C-alpha cells in the first residue's frame, strides 16, 4: 500500500476557523487560518458565543479555500480529521458537526483529534525526520502541559498548570501594564529592551519532584509590584517589568522541561503551542539544551498557533494506528491527553 | 426531487426525507443536549432504511432559527456541509414558520419558542392557500406583551411550540376560549414541515452552503454589554 493518503482537517476549538489538507500526515498542501482576533480584541479576550457565530459563518468558505489551495477536491479526500476537544464547546460543535457531515457525505473515515496532541504533531510537519520518544512542552493561552511522548499516539501526561495557563498569565500581566490583547507577543517584544533582573519576581517550582506549574502567584506578584510602585509615586519601566515577568515564567518552563528530559533520558525536547513562538523561551531552552546535550525543536510561528494542519497530522497518525471514530463522535470540552 | 430536512432548534432533533408529495421517512428524538451525537446517525438510519445514498438527495433544508443557538449551529453546520460535499442546493426555513406549518387551521397560528426570562420567539401567521401569510414577522417578545397583543387584535387562535407548553396556564387565563393548543404530535418542530416548506420556497430563497447562517433574533451577551457601555 504505497498510495498517498489525503487528510482534510478542521479546527475550531477557540477563535480560529481553520481547515487544512495534508498528504501523508507530514506534508501540508494547504493550511487556511481565519483568525477572529480583531473581533475579540474589543472584548479583551475570546467571547465563546461570538466565536461560535463567526465559525458557522466562515466554516465552508475556509474548507473550500483549503481544497482550492491544495489543488484537490472532496473526492480526493481519504479521511476527515477534526478537533474533538479540549476547547470551547460551542466552537468545537461547529467544526465537529461539519466534519461528521463531510465524512458521512464522502463515506470516508472520521478521526476525532485531541487538540493538545495536534500541537505536538505540528512538529512532525516542521521536522520530517522527527520521531518519538521525546519530551514535549505544550504552552499556549489555554494550555500548559509537560508530556513524555512515547509513540505517535502514545502520551504520558507528566505535568500541567494548577491554575492559569502560561499564555493566560501573559495576557493578564499585559492588561495590567496597559498593553493590548493578546499579551504574549507584546511582552516578548518589550522584554528585549528591558532588564530581566530589574525586578525579582518569584519562580514558582511547587514541590521538589513536581512537574506541575502555577502562574497565578506570579501574576499577583506583578500586580502587587505595580500597585505599590503607583502608591509610592515611582515610575514604572514597562520594559523592565515585562522582561522580569517573562524571565520568571520561562525559567520555570525551561528548568522543568530539562529535568524531565534528563530523568527520562530523552535527548530531544519539543515545544508546541502559541507560547512556543516566544523568542525569550526559545533562546533560553536552546541555551540550556546545548549545555545538557539535548536537542531542542519548535515549529515555525504559524504552526505554533491553533491551526488545522496540526490536527490533520494527528488525525493521520491516529488513522494509521486504527483509532477511527464513529459518526456519534461528540465534542469533549475537557478532553485529556492519554 | 428528494429533500432532506433537519431541525435542531429545540430539544427535539428531527430529520425527514420527502420526495415531492410523499413523506419517505421522519425521525425525531427528544433528548436533552445530544444533537451533536445523534444527528448524523439519525440521518444515516433513515437513508439506510430507505436504501438510499446521501448523494440521492437533491435539496437540503435546515431550520435556521430562532431557537437554541447551539442547537441551530449543529443543524446548520451539518446541512451546509452535506450540501457542500455533495454540491447540492440548500434552503433555510424559519423555525417559527416550520412550526406554524404543522397546523391546519383557518384562523390565527402563533408558534412560540421559549427564549427564557418570560420571553418567547414568536410570529403570527394565517393560512393563505398552501402558504402562510405573516401578520407579525419572527421576533423576540415578552410573554405578557404578546398576550396583550393577541387579546386585543385576534380571535380563533391556535398556539404551539415549547413556549406554548411552558406558558399554557398564562395563555389560557388571558385568551380563554379564543385559544386552542396544538396536539402533542404537532407541538414540536417537524422536519417534514421544514422539507415541504423548502420545496415550496426553493426558487425564491437565495441560500447556498456558504451563506446559510442562523437567525438568532438576539445579540450575544457580550455584544449587548458593549452596546450598553457605549450608550
Ligand atoms: Zn491550542
Looking at residue B226, what is its pLDDT?
79
Are the CB atoms for A96 and A84 separated by under 8 Å? yes
Buried b (16+ CB within 10 A) or exposed e, A70-87: bebebeebbbbbbbbbbb
Cα distance from B95 to chain A (closest Cα, Å)? 18
What is the pLDDT averaged over residues A216-232? 94
Task: Cell numbers for B86, please give them.
Answer: 455533495
Using one digit for the tens of pLDDT, what is the confidence trace for A64-80? 999 999 999 999 999 99
* E strand or H helix at A315: helix A308-320
Residues by chain with Cβ below 5 Å of ion ligand 1: A 140, 306
Indicate the pLDDT class of residue B18, thresholds 50, 70 and 90: very high
Looking at residue B24, what is its pLDDT?
98
Using one digit for the tens of pLDDT, what is the confidence trace for A281-298? 999 999 999 999 999 999
Using a CB–CB cutoff of 8 Å, tell me whether B39 touches chain A: yes
Cα distance from A85 to chain B (closest Cα, Å)? 14
Q: Count of CB atoms within 10 A of residue A237's CB?
A: 17
Using one digit for the tens of pLDDT, what is the confidence trace for A105-133? 999 999 999 999 999 999 999 999 999 99
A53 DSSP 8-state letter: H
Using a CB–CB cutoff of 8 Å, tell me whether B227 touches chain A: no
Q: Which residue of B has its CA nearest to A108?
A: B85
- In this predicted structure, the answer to whether residue A265 has a pLDDT above a threshold of 80 is yes
- ipTM, two decimals: 0.96
Distance, in Å, from the CA atom of B140 to the CA atom of A268, rounded to the nearest integer, reads: 58
Domains and CATH numbers, chain A: 6-121+304-320 (3.30.420.40), 132-299 (3.30.420.40)
**Dihedral sign, CA of B79, B84, B85, B90?**
positive
Nearest to B73 among A56, A105, A106 (CB): A56
- Domain positions in chain B: 2-95+189-230, 100-186
Using a CB–CB cutoff of 8 Å, tell me whether B183 touches chain A: no
Q: Average model confidence (pLDDT) for chain A?
A: 95
SS (H, E, C) chain B: CEEEEEECCCCEEEEEEEECCEEEEEEEEECCCCHHHHHHHHHHHHHHHCCCCHHHCCEEEEECCCCCHHHHHHHHHHHHHHHHHHCCCEEEECHHHHHHHCCCCCCEEEEEEECCCCEEEEEEEEEECCEEEEEEEEEEEEHHHHHHHHHHHCCCEEEECHHHHHCHHHHHHHHHHHEEECCHHHCCCCHHHHHHHHHHHCCCCCCCCCCCCCCCCCCCHHHHHHHHHHC
Q: Name the 3-class secondary structure at A5.
A: coil
Q: How many CA atoms lie within 13 A of A290 on its CB side?
A: 5
Indicate the pLDDT class of residue B224, thresholds 50, 70 and 90: confident
- In this predicted structure, the answer to whether residue A1 has a pLDDT above a threshold of 80 is no
Q: Name the 3-class secondary structure at A94.
A: helix
Using one digit for the tens of pLDDT, what is the confidence trace for B20-38? 889 999 999 998 768 999 9
Looking at residue A292, what is its pLDDT?
97
Indicate the pLDDT class of residue B127, thresholds 50, 70 and 90: very high
Indicate the pLDDT class of residue B222, thresholds 50, 70 and 90: confident
- In this predicted structure, the answer to whether residue A312 has a pLDDT above a threshold of 80 is yes
**Could you tell me which CATH class the domain B2-95+189-230 is placed in?**
alpha beta
CATH of domain B100-186: 3.30.420.40
Percent of chain B at pLDDT above 90? 89
- In this predicted structure, the answer to whether residue B65 has a pLDDT above a threshold of 60 is yes
Q: How close is the Cα of B93 to the center of ligand 1, in Å? A: 36
Indicate the pLDDT class of residue A148, thresholds 50, 70 and 90: very high
Pairing mode, strands B59-63 and B90-93: parallel
Amino acid at each position: 500500500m504505497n498510495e498517498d493518503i489525503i487528510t482534510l482537517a478542521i479546527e475550531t476549538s477557540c477563535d480560529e476557523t481553520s481547515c487544512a489538507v495534508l498528504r501523508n500526515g507530514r506534508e501540508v498542501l494547504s493550511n487556511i487560518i481565519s483568525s477572529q482576533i480583531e473581533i475579540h480584541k474589543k472584548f479583551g479576550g475570546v467571547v465563546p458565543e461570538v466565536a461560535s457565530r463567526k465559525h458557522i459563518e466562515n466554516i465552508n468558505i475556509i474548507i473550500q479555500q483549503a481544497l482550492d489551495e491544495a489543488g484537490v477536491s472532496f473526492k480526493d479526500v481519504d479521511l476527515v480529521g477534526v478537533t474533538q476537544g479540549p476547547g470551547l464547546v460551542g466552537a468545537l460543535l461547529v467544526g465537529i458537526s461539519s466534519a461528521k457531515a463531510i465524512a458521512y457525505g464522502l463515506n470516508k473515515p472520521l478521526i476525532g483529534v485531541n487538540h493538545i496532541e495536534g500541537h505536538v504533531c505540528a512538529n512532525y510537519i516542521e521536522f520530517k525526520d522527527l520521531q518519538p520518544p521525546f519530551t514535549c512542552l505544550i504552552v499556549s493561552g489555554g494550555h500548559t502541559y509537560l508530556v513524555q511522548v512515547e509513540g505517535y499516539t502514545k502520551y504520558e501526561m507528566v505535568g500541567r498548570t494548577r491554575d492559569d495557563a502560561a499564555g493566560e498569565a501573559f495576557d493578564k500581566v499585559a492588561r495590567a501594564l496597559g498593553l493590548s490583547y493578546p499579551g504574549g507577543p507584546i511582552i516578548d517584544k518589550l522584554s528585549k529592551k528591558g532588564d530581566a533582573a530589574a525586578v525579582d519576581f518569584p519562580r514558582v517550582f511547587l514541590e521538589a519532584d513536581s512537574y506541575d506549574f502555577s502562574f497565578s502567584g506570579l501574576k499577583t506578584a506583578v500586580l502587587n509590584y505595580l500597585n505599590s510602585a503607583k502608591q509610592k509615586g515611582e515610575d514604572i519601566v514597562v520594559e523592565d517589568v515585562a522582561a522580569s515577568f517573562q524571565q520568571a515564567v520561562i525559567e520555570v518552563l525551561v528548568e522543568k522541561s530539562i529535568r524531565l528530559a534528563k530523568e527520562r533520558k530523552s535527548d530531544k525536547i519539543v515545544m508546541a503551542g502559541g507560547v512556543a513562538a516566544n523568542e525569550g523561551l526559545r533562546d533560553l531552552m536552546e541555551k540550556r539544551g546545548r549545555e545538557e546535550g539535548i536537542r531542542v525543536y519548535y515549529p515555525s510561528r504559524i504552526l505554533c498557533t491553533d491551526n488545522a494542519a496540526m490536527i490533520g497530522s494527528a488525525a493521520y497518525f491516529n488513522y494509521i494506528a486504527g483509532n477511527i471514530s464513529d459518526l456519534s463522535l461528540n465534542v469533549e470540552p475537557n478532553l485529556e491527553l492519554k | 426531487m428528494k429533500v432532506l430536512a433537519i431541525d435542531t432548534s429545540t430539544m427535539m432533533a428531527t430529520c425527514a426525507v420527502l420526495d415531492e408529495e410523499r413523506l419517505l421517512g421522519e425521525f425525531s428524538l427528544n433528548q436533552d443536549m445530544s444533537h451533536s451525537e445523534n444527528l448524523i446517525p439519525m440521518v444515516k438510519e433513515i437513508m439506510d432504511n430507505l436504501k438510499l445514498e446521501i448523494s440521492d438527495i437533491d435539496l437540503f433544508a435546515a431550520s435556521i432559527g430562532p431557537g437554541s443557538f447551539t442547537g441551530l449551529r449543529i443543524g446548520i453546520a451539518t446541512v451546509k456541509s452535506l450540501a457542500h460535499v455533495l454540491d447540492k442546493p440548500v434552503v433555510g426555513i424559519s423555525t417559527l414558520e416550520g412550526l406554524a406549518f404543522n397546523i391546519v387551521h383557518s384562523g390565527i397560528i402563533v408558534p412560540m419558542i421559549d427564549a427564557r426570562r418570560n420571553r418567547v420567539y414568536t410570529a403570527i401567521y394565517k393560512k393563505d392557500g398552501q402558504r402562510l401569510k405573516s401578520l407579525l414577522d419572527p421576533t423576540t417578545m415578552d410573554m405578557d406583551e404578546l398576550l396583550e397583543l393577541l387579546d386585543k387584535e385576534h380571535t380563533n387562535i391556535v398556539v404551539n411550540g415549547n413556549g406554548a407548553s411552558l406558558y399554557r396556564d398564562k395563555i389560557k387565563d388571558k385568551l380563554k376560549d379564543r385559544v386552542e393548543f396544538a396536539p402533542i404530535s404537532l407541538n414540536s418542530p417537524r422536519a417534514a414541515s421544514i422539507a415541504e416548506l423548502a420545496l415550496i420556497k426553493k426558487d425564491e430563497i437565495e441560500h447556498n452552503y456558504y451563506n446559510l447562517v442562523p437567525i438568532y433574533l438576539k445579540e450575544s451577551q457580550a455584544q449587548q454589554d458593549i452596546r450598553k457601555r457605549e450608550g
